[in-house]
Structure 1
Amino acid sequence: MSSASTPAKHLPASDVSAGVGWTGLAALLVWLMVCRNWALVADHLALPGPHAPMSGPYAAVATLFVTGTAMALWSIFVDKVHLRPSTGIDWKLGRSSAESLDLSITKLAGLWTTWALIGAFYCIGRWYWDGQYLFAMEILGSAALPLFLLSIPYVLWLDRKLIEPRDQAWHFGALLMGREAWDAEAVKKHGRAWAIKAFFGAFMISILPGGFAQVVEADFAASLHDPVALGSILIALLFLIDVQIGTVGYIFTFRPLDAHIRSGNPLLAGWVAALMCYPPFVWGTMGRADVLGYEVNTAGWAYWLSGYPALLWVWAGLMVFLTAVYAWATFAFGLRFSNLTYRGVLTNGPYRFTRHPAYLSKNLFWWTSTLPFLVTSHALTDMVRNTVLLGVVSGIYYWRARTEEAHLLAEDAKYRAYHAWMAQNAPITRGLSKLGSRLRPRVPEPQAAE
């Protein structure tokens, strides 16, 4: 669908307020300060246990709930998202427990079977039992029983208030139980949504501990006069913000918060483009020189600029800025961040300037930090390979962006209006669109018959 077909005079209102993301960021930073200064806190309160910074992996997981709870409270008490029609909830609805019990049983059958299938997938996937994924499996394994038990009162309660309790999970349960008619498209949507949560949720949890420990244990004071050290710490902090709030988005997918997944991307191209960017499908962007490895014999920006102190400061500032935009693009989603999903339309924050600020800033960061065309081997082949392969990675992200747009354009008229407004008014998007139109070959107009 062309954006030109739906001209927009005004930028549509965002489904996510700026306040929820900034609240999550503030809560995260406060909690990080508590973790960094836990020795002083424990001394002052005479608490038992080690009096040292809380930098362990379980502290990283606890941070998710501190941040997520803060955003949830803002969403309910300030944004009042639980009252929005998009939740599908009518709080005045008085459906009896007896009336909704059969619906809830069917839905729970669908949910529990889904979780069992996810567990089987984790068991079969060998990569989940090695390296950083071991921590994710430990956390998810510990959460399995509480999740199973808490799902019962949650579903029983929510089904009494849902306008249409026969949601996607119910349709999957109906398929399994074979007692009532079920909708195949709803079952597909249910499967896609939980496949996204299972795949990306485990990945996000797996990368929590490393960055968290690095930031909590970092010596900021000792780095103030070193652009490389200070830049590295600030970049680590910003990536931590991205990972922490992004992981919250995969966990807090609750209807009362209006953060539920409306649909997962139904396009095969969208899944291929997204999965190519994550292990185990490809490791090129994760530091290993495999199919898309673009860092062979590269030394990075600090090495090549080491003799130019002023330029080091400028370059470090540029990379911190790009990472800050990337982190902003994540926490601007509030509770709704996740890949391959439609969970409402976001039009504020960095999405006011470009439709894909995260992809744009991330790829610019890779180019400026890696400098793939400068290699320590001085081999032309390494220079060409690295540059071409990073170009391929950037191309994959462009493809990924287009598939996401195709999904959202088909789902929501508000996104179609946003897409059209951005093409005409957003400075970065408008500029890139003009550049693309100049690079594309012109199709000659048909000649009129004489």
Structure 2
Amino acid sequence: MQISPSVDFPPQDIKSELDCTDTTQKAITEETKAVFKAVLDHSAMEKILKVANQEPAVPDTFPHYTNFGATEYVYEFSKRWTSGFFSGSVWALCERASKRELPVSFENLVKIARKWQSGMEKEQYNTETHDIGFMIMPSFQRDLDLTGSKPCGDVIIRAAESLLTRWNEAIGCLRSWNTTSTKIYEFTNKDTDFLVIIDNMMNLDLLYSATLLSGDPKYAAIATKHAETTLKYHIRPDNSTYHLIVYDPVTGKRKVGLTHQGYDHGSTWSRGQAWAIYGFATVYKYTKDPKFLDAAKRLTEYFMSRVENGAVYWDFDAPRPCVWDTSAVTIACSGMLLLCQLQGNLEYLPQVTLLMKTCIDGALTNEDGVTILDHATVNNYEHANHRIADHGLVYADYYFLEVGNRLIDLGLA
């Protein structure tokens, strides 16, 4: 199959076109300017570099989540799905330094980023996870884009090959988890249960990149088929999403929709909805198929309909009061800004302003913080084997930085 070439951000005519419209000028309020200035404040970079310049207590481990108060990180080994986000955060700073002057030079940032990235290279051969896209793309794709490093392109292609080992033709999906369990259910037999989570939409970028780099259409074809299957089975009629769908690996039939990290099986886990917005926007970026743009916009409309005074709770249907999930905010905002970039408009500027203002006002850490944001939630399902709620979280910060970079690309900050 054919896919569109990589999209330049922003498209060359966007900034001049937007700057000349009355609608855009009205959208960019003084509040919007203040929020976006805060997003790009150097204090975010300082938090990342404070951690980056320290050696982890255990070699070959990477920041994951923090204690309460966000003053100390818990580190995990590279096989953990979150392991690529910290080096990705440093690379996001490299990207920013390539576009505007920062207190730390681009060259020094690259050195720091590659130091952290080096521990992730072995994961290109990991066939036991669908999250290899999360592990590889935040670092190796940016290194490739910013420096032209050919070895990084080779890593991406090999990682894509590893991901393809998880493909099931009968279902039309990549397997997310081999097995899983909570206190009330378990799936331990790969031969009878094929597990796919909404998060998997975020790993398709790896496959599209591999097609662009290698010229082989097989990676993109599988990515698009996975997106089509997810579009059919993960999105409810009201445009909310299931977290986990269990399929029969032989017949390809859908068995059941469940949650693993949300409030209950019929609720909407906010980060899952954010993954879906961003994931379908990414598929549209590469395919230009309008059904994926339509899906991303419908998912966004539902997301925003459940926001309460700018706050995003860890599950939209969980009883109040309950904890926030700032990672859902930053992921959704980056996805919405991607939609703006792809459409050449500022349709979601008011929504991004509202959500990011809430993060700035209520979740920025103080000077002792090791993360930019607090009040993120990994998993608060009451039947989960391990609950982690209301902490700093490495990928909340990663997407916070990405939001800032998208604002720069759109000429908004």
Using structure 1 for the length normalisation, give the TM-score. 0.26
TM-score (norm 2): 0.28
| Higher helix content, 1 or 2 | 1
Q: Which has the larger radius of gyration?
A: 1
